[in-house]
Amino acid sequence: MANASVTALVNRRNVAAALQAARVECEQYQAWLTALNKAALNLEACSWQFDGEVLRIASASSSSTRYTVTPQGCGCKAHQAGRPCWHRAARRLLCKAAELAPAPSKSMAELQAAVDELFS
């Protein structure tokens, strides 16, 4: 799903739904729950870019530091030490939010083309 249109799929409503589901999924794991809650706060507070695959996000503690978060991990101290980090939780939230988004509606031209194809 790595493309420019993923940004349009990620909005507060979808992130809130993803957050609610993630909290249920990790309620048994306090460290991940803490990372998840920090992620929710810092997605609001920190600047970030997400293309559906890679998240680039500013550090919450140092404005000059940015982290690149991929499916393989994050370069922050917590992840390097094998602990859950909020950067990875933020990436997962954004991925889940994009998955929860309704499919974009087709334009009138696309619908007409489909009808024309069916009846020609």
Query: For 56-69, how does the pLDDT look when each residue is reduced to its tens digit (9 = 90+)?
Result: 999 999 878 999 99
Gap between the Cα atoms of 15 and 19, Å rounded: 6
Per-domain residue ranges of the chain: 6-118
Walking along the chain (120 residues) 10 residues at a time, the average pLDDT comes out as 58 88 93 94 92 92 92 94 95 90 71 76
Gap between the Cα atoms of 74 and 113, Å rounded: 44
Element (H, E) at 6: helix 6-9
Both structure tokens of 93:
């939230």
Who contacts 44 (Cβ-Cβ below 8 Å, separation ≥6)?
A: none
